[in-house]
Structure 1
């Protein structure tokens, strides 16, 4: 018993240090997850063939968003037809101030042809013009009653918002249907998969 009494302070000190180390690691992990990196599950085929259904993606919350980036955003409150997926992963097509148009099967941003090498050959001729007409632009899309009232009657992507499309256009519920995605709703940029 005397031996235990002698080493007890060392055990308590070691335990406190160990618990503090675990607590610090948990706090750092939470801060990284909350403010720098996180992960998300892709639900659905809207980004095929780039991303597959039930694939996990890494999200960087700090990086600047550029045209062509894949972004993860909160779908609740943006898409009235949002199903099971709380978050969407889609491609940024239009940045604030951009014009976006579709004509004869080709996508134009600021009147410049956008090569869509990420689309499958099927999607390049998917017939999305049957749904939205050909040609379409932001003004014609934004006349839709599905778009939020604040997004309607726009010829350019408003400040602080983005126009996004899925890579599988024939199955993607994207900005063509629900309008723009606000910067505040974007969780971050996809930087990898696992």
Structure 2
């Protein structure tokens, strides 16, 4: 037994730590679809941190409220009890204007009529871009306690709280902390980088 532990002990400890981290702390996920373009792209691999604390602008993984068997990656926009409104592509939360710099690239393409070209991979997305009057459709909601309002960064094609409703705290599975694939796009997601 002593020889076994001497030869394999370090490996067993590392494997045990990895398993515990995977079960209780971090979860690997893959991005499927284009709702978070250009922040996150289809096929990218992420690590999420399992957490109870969610803040505005966190990018999270969640179960879709209308189809709980499906997982999604979205951005938290409004917190429990807040009133969130979008009018003419201007976001306000509790009556205060809120900037969304993560939308700048696609918003600029939309404003110049070039977003349809970006959507060349999907004719339906192209048609949506050509016919839309605003990048983010107008809405106004008050978020119930214990719920969150989430949106995808690619607002014209994202299925999010505008469609499936508010997200209960229990449906949130983790906060994205690291993009590890592809390697040339590896990056940490901190509060400042969101």
TM-score (ref. length: structure 2)? 0.71
Describe the shift of the 1:174–1:87 C-alpha distance in structure 2 as closer, same or farther (beyond 3 A).
Answer: same
Alignment deviations for residues 149-180 of structure 1 (CA, whole Å, 9 cap, x no partner): xxxxxxx2112211000000111010000001
Residue correspondence of structure 1 range 1-194 to structure 2 within 5 A: 12-16=1-5, 18=7, 21-62=10-51, 64-75=53-64, 78-80=65-67, 86-119=70-103, 120=106, 121-122=108-109, 127=132, 134=138, 136-138=139-141, 156-194=142-180
- The farther-off stretch of 175-184 and 19-28 is 19-28
Find the aligned partners of 1:113 and 1:157 in 2 and give their Cα distance.
Answer: 17
Find the aligned partners of 2:81 and 2:110 in 1 and give their Cα distance.
Answer: 27
Q: How many residues align?
A: 159
Find the aligned partners of 1:131 and 1:190 in 2 and give their Cα distance.
Answer: 23
- Taking only aligned residues, the RMSD between alpha carbons, in angstroms, comes to 2.7
Find the aligned partners of 1:131 and 1:13 in 2 and give their Cα distance.
Answer: 64
Alignment deviations for residues 2-50 of structure 1 (CA, whole Å, 9 cap, x no partner): xxxxxxxxxx431255455544433321221122122210101100010
Gap runs ≥5 in structure 2: 114-128, 181-194
Describe the shift of the 1:128–1:22 C-alpha distance in structure 2 as closer, same or farther (beyond 3 A).
Answer: farther
* Offset of residue 109 of structure 1: 1.2
Find the aligned partners of 1:116 and 1:130 in 2 and give their Cα distance.
Answer: 12
- The farther-off stretch of 44-53 and 102-111 is 102-111
Q: Which has the larger radius of gyration?
A: 1
Say which structure is richer in strand.
2
CA contact (8 A) 2:110 2:135 kept: no
* Offset of residue 74 of structure 1: 2.1
What secondary structure, in the 3-state scheme, does the structure 1 residue paired with 2:102 have?
A: coil
Alignment deviations for residues 36-95 of structure 1 (CA, whole Å, 9 cap, x no partner): 1222101011000101110011211137311111011123xx134x8xx93211100010
